[in-house]
């Protein structure tokens, strides 16, 4: 493993590609390998033990492929399994958590919304962060039940998506939130639809840029930033059909490869 080794990224499915885009934008020289464990999506309703087993399997696959760092581009896997991953593997592991701290610090209405999976909202790590930063404000926690399977199917504009989003944003609008935290890496793909439904004063935030910055910081610290000017190898693997990844990554189609792999 050296500075030319790839950055590994995994998610329960296609959603973490929203995080990959931020990483690639900040670190365009880096080789990357992305694993979409869509066969096992959604992770959000699984037990902590099951989420941990799947996260160990994905991380091992990325390490077997020579990755120098692993980004867990899944809030559910991070909040449930990151400490086990860090105990088991010696390479740096970066996680993603809902951006509750910046929302709590900036809200003027003292009311924020968070949309995430059941697995994330029920995790100890989430409660710890919410307890530390959001104890004096009102936090409307909504489980985005059903959203991940629709995104996995590429149904971003379906009637079902619209009615689920209306249902989930209604209690937040009623509580006059001014920040909406997206606590699932699939959800940034819903931002254009959410913007149409929410009042204009609501700011939507996710953690993609923060994760990319943290990845760069750690690579710098470890002295393994890739300074080569060679065209990077950008590989995507999914254990189901390539269709939705192809759709979400269409503007990168000339530089990426997307393949099915059994992992």
Enumerate the active-site residues. Answer: 74, 184
Q: Work out whether 184 is an interface residue with ligand DGL (CB under 6 A).
A: yes
Helix 124-133 with 75-88: angle, nearest 10 deg: 110
3 state SS of 177: coil
**Residue from 53, 57, 61 nearest 34 by CA:** 61
Interacting residue with ligand DGL among 23, 36, 41, 219 (CB under 6 A) = 41
How many residues lie near ligand DGL (CB under 6 A)?
18
- Residue whose C-beta lies closest to ligand DGL: 44
3 state SS of 123: coil
Cβ atoms of 180 and 115 within 8 Å: the answer is yes
55 or 75: CB nearest ligand DGL:
75
Q: Which stretch binds ligand DGL (CB under 6 A): 11-19, 170-178, 200-208, 241-249?
A: 11-19
DSSP structure class, residue 190: G
148 or 224: CB nearest ligand DGL:
148
Q: Work out whether 52 is an interface residue with ligand DGL (CB under 6 A).
A: no
Structure tokens at 238: 């999914």
185 or 226: CB nearest ligand DGL:
185
Q: Work out whether 188 is an interface residue with ligand DGL (CB under 6 A).
A: no
Q: Shortest Cβ distance from residue 137 to ligand DGL (Å)?
A: 23
Interacting residue with ligand DGL among 11, 22, 97, 206 (CB under 6 A) = 11
147 or 219: CB nearest ligand DGL:
147
Interacting residue with ligand DGL among 67, 186, 208, 244 (CB under 6 A) = 186
Helices within 146-241 (DSSP H only): 147-152, 159-174, 191-197, 208-221
Q: Work out whether 208 is an interface residue with ligand DGL (CB under 6 A).
A: no
Q: How far apart are CA 190 and CA 145, in angstroms?
A: 14
**According to CB under 6 A, which residues from 118 to 157 bind ligand DGL?**
120, 148
Q: Work out whether 43 is an interface residue with ligand DGL (CB under 6 A).
A: yes
Interacting residue with ligand DGL among 76, 107, 238, 244 (CB under 6 A) = 76
Question: How far does Cα 162 stand from its chain's mean position?
Answer: 21
Q: Which stretch binds ligand DGL (CB under 6 A): 13-21, 122-130, 173-181, 243-251?
A: 13-21
185 or 256: CB nearest ligand DGL:
185
Cβ atoms of 97 and 76 within 8 Å: the answer is no
Q: Shortest Cβ distance from residue 58 to ligand DGL (Å)?
A: 12
For the range 46-51, what are the long-range contacts, defined as Cβ-Cβ under 8 Å and sequence gap of 24 or more? 46/119, 48/80, 48/81, 48/119, 48/123, 51/76, 51/77, 51/80, 51/81, 51/119
Whose structure tokens read 């059994």? 262
The torsion angle over the Cα atoms of residues 46, 48, 54 and 60, rounded to 10 degrees, is 170
- Give the binding site for ligand DGL (CB under 6 A): 11-13, 15-16, 41-44, 74-76, 117, 120, 148, 184-186
């Amino acid at each position: 493993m050296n500075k030319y080794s790839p950055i590994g990224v995994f998610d329960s499915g296609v959603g973490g590609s929203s995080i990959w885009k931020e990483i690639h934008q900040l670190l365009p020289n880096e080789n990357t390998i992305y694993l979409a464990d869509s066969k096992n999506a959604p992770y959000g309703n699984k037990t902590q033990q099951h989420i941990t087993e799947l996260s160990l399997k994905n991380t091992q696959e990325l390490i077997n492929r020579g990755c120098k760092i692993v980004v867990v581009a899944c809030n559910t896997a991070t909040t449930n399994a990151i400490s086990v991953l860090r105990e088991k593997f010696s390479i740096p592991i970066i996680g993603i958590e809902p951006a509750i701290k910046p929302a709590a610090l900036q809200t003027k209405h003292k009311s924020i919304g968070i949309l995430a999976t059941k697995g994330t909202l029920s995790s100890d790590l989430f409660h710890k962060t919410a307890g530390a930063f959001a104890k004096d404000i009102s936090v409307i926690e909504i489980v985005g039940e059903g959203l991940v399977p629709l995104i996995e199917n590429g149904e971003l504009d379906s009637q079902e998506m619209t009615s689920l989003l209306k249902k989930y944003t209604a209690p937040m609008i009623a509580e006059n939130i001014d920040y909406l935290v997206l606590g699932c890496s699939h959800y940034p793909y819903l931002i254009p639809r959410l913007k149409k439904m929410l009042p204009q004063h609501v700011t939507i935030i996710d953690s993609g840029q923060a994760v990319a910055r943290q990845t760069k910081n750690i690579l710098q610290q470890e002295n393994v930033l890739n300074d080569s000017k060679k065209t990077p190898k950008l590989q995507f693997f999914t254990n189901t059909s390539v269709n939705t990844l192809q759709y979400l990554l269409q503007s990168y189609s000339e530089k990426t490869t997307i393949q099915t792999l059994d992992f």
